Amino acid sequence: MSTTTPHMAINSNTIIKVLSIITCALIVISIGGQWWKFTFGGDQAKMFIQFFNLDHERNIPTFFSVFLLFFVALILAFIARFNHVQKQPHSSKWIMLSCGFVFMAFDEAFQIHEKFIWPFRALLGENNLGIFYFAWVIPGFILILILALYFLKFLIDLPRIARIRFLIAATLYIGGAIGFELIGGYHVEQYGEENLTYSIITTIEESLELSGLVFFIWALLKYCEQHFKSVLFVFE
């Protein structure tokens, strides 16, 4: 009597479709909530608006973003393990990326990076900071440059299509997290936070971050499809 080993097929396209639908829904709901707030006042739906505001902390979009970051970290950890077993180069870089995304998930949940705003404002002076009004972007940008140099060889050694996909994902995420944070900082210093323009800026910022994470998940799953045709999990 023959037996068949149970297996589980992972369809990357289905995963990305689901994540993309959730992302788009959160963006649309957040935009609708902000439009209602600045058009009608939003007092009657204040809790609902805050619960789905992309720029608000500890709500549905935040939890989803944290989930995406942990999901990325998990995929990176699997890739690191499989590359180590196959004696592929840069296994340590994959695991470092995984640990980095775990930290990013905690940062997203607890807004650790915002603790750097006031110390750096004190160093720069608190007036006329312009694009550096949210001063955490300065150490953030320096860290990105250091990491870019450290992972340059790793990036160059990736297959061309994977390298392009990873760079697109990074551009989307960093463009939102740093690029639009600079724009938002300039606007807040001039006009404050409670206005529709700043809401639009933060919505674009958070939308780019979510899109970058979903795109990176897709790129990582495609990388796995091309390099690990079949993976067997053994439970002992």
pLDDT per residue over 41-65, tens digit each? 867 688 889 999 999 888 999 999 9
- Res 43: pLDDT: 73
Among residues 154, 166, 146, the alpha carbon closest in space to that of 221 is found at: 166
- Res 86: pLDDT: 80
Q: What percent of the chain has pLDDT over 70?
A: 91
Average pLDDT on 77-90 reads 87
Give tens-digit pLDDT for 135-191: 999 999 999 999 999 999 999 999 999 999 999 999 999 999 999 999 999 999 999
Least confident span in 70-79, 210-219, 221-230: 221-230
Task: Tell me the HSE value of 134 on the side-chain side, using a 13 A CA sphere.
Answer: 21
Rounded CA-CA distance 99/51 in Å is: 29
Helix (H) or strand (E) holding 45: none
Q: Is the pTM of this model over 0.85?
A: yes
Among residues 79, 71, 64, the alpha carbon closest in space to that of 162 is found at: 79
Within 10 Å of residue 8's Cβ, how many Cβ atoms?
A: 6
Among residues 22, 13, 73, 48, the alpha carbon closest in space to that of 210 is found at: 22
pLDDT at position 7 over 70: no
Confidence of residue 229 (pLDDT cuts 50, 70, 90): low
Phi, psi of 43 (to 5 degrees): -65, -35
Average pLDDT on 131-135 reads 92
Confidence of residue 92 (pLDDT cuts 50, 70, 90): very high
Confidence of residue 231 (pLDDT cuts 50, 70, 90): low
* Angle formed by the axes of helices 196-227 and 180-191, nearest 10°: 170
- Res 2: pLDDT: 43
The C-alpha angle with vertex 167 and arms to 111 and 97, in degrees rounded to 5, equals 50
* Angle formed by the axes of helices 91-110 and 60-85, nearest 10°: 170
Cα–chain center distance at 151: 18
- Res 69: pLDDT: 98
